Amino acid sequence: MEHKSQGILINLAGNGNYKNPDAVEKVIRYITRTNRQDKEDLIAWGGLGVTEFAGVEEVIRQFHCVQGEYCRKGEFGRRMDHEVFSLSEEAERDILKVPIDLDGMARDMARDIYEEDRCQVVYGIHRPDKSSGRIHIHFGINTVDFETIRKRRENKRKTKEREARFGRIVEEKIRGCSERK
């Protein structure tokens, strides 16, 4: 059986991005739309490994606390990984038709990252806008593992594997909601 793509995962933390000390705050505020920009596209946001109910300021503080435990000679490197999962046209159509709890789906995706890498994760679900024609989910991932206090290592293979796992989460949500109808 041929596997159809439910979306694409784009890793934005490439060459030299997100190394500045203010990267944590900037990425989290962008994802949660608390960066004072006039965008009305936020559907929901949440996080794992953080007390999201305490608000964005507290989430940012908690990311910094974990990073404060990381010791290394030389530069810190990337402070955040920023990934975007953009739904395929077919998946978006199915999700809107059923309808599916997008927050629950995004939380399941964030849980996948959290459990796999043991890193704090903040997610935000955004409606389509001029630059993105699809519903998409941003993930801000702390680059420090909160258990080992080691840096998270990311590469193209891991991103592709996570994209496939995210696709399965979307498929399961669509199938589950369709079966309940």
Q: Name the amino acid, one letter, at 138.
A: H
pLDDT in tens, 50-96: 999 999 999 999 999 999 999 877 888 899 999 999 999 999 999 98
Q: CA quadruple 127, 129, 131, 132: dihedral positive or negative? A: positive
b/e 133-162 (16+ beta carbons within 10 angstroms → b): ebbbbbbbbbbbbbeeeebbebeeeeeeeb
C-alpha 128/C-alpha 133 separation (Å) is: 5
Q: At 3, is the pLDDT very low, low, confident or very high (cuts 50, 70, 90)?
A: low
pTM, 2 dp? 0.92
